[in-house]
């Protein structure tokens, strides 16, 4: 069973460009979470999705950021008009339909650098 897959692993964008980050959850997992790790900061929750639904986006910046998890294909985190402050590691995690412990399995991350 393949783990959570993220691509690209490294992404360089110039200020003002768009960044698209992809996440394929583990097989059988229907819940996807995105987290951001800023330099010198911890991991912060951004958004929680199930297939075709955004369940909780309370951690997403109000502007320029969006996420989706379509019926077919990977989950996408999209950042429009990137700024230097968006440089960070973005991690996706997935979990199965809810069990007792809510453990999540993480991908290797996408490291975004904005120049």
Partner 1 sequence: GDSVTQMEGPVTLSEEACLTINCTYTATGYPSLFWYVQYPGEGLQLLLKATKADDKGSNKGFEATYRKETTSFHLEKGSVQVSDSAVYFCALPIYNQGGKLIFGQGTELSVKP
Point out which residues bind partner 1 (CB under 8 A).
4, 6, 31, 33, 35, 41-45, 48, 55-56, 58-59, 91, 93, 95, 98, 100-109
For partner 1, the closer CB: 86 or 110: 110
Least distance to partner 1, CB of residue 58, Å: 8
Tell me how far apart the alpha carbons of residues 92 and 5 are, in angstroms, rounded to a whole number: 8
CA torsion angle 101 93 55 71 (round to 10): -120
Least distance to partner 1, CB of residue 98, Å: 7
**The two structure tokens encoding residue 103:** 């453990």
For partner 1, the closer CB: 104 or 113: 104
On whether the CB atoms of residues 68 and 61 are closer than 8 A, the answer is no
């Amino acid at each position: 069973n393949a783990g959570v897959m993220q691509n690209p692993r490294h992404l360089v964008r110039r200020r003002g460009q768009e960044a698209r980050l992809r996440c394929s959850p583990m097989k059988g997992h229907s819940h996807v979470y995105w987290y951001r790790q800023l330099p010198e900061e911890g991991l912060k929750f951004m958004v929680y999705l199930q297939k075709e639904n955004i369940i909780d986006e309370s951690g997403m910046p109000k502007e320029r950021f969006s996420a989706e998890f379509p019926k077919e294909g990977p989950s996408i985190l999209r950042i429009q008009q990137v700024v230097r402050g968006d440089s960070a590691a973005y991690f996706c995690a997935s979990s199965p339909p809810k069990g007792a412990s809510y453990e999540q399995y993480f991908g290797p991350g996408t490291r975004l650098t904005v120049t």
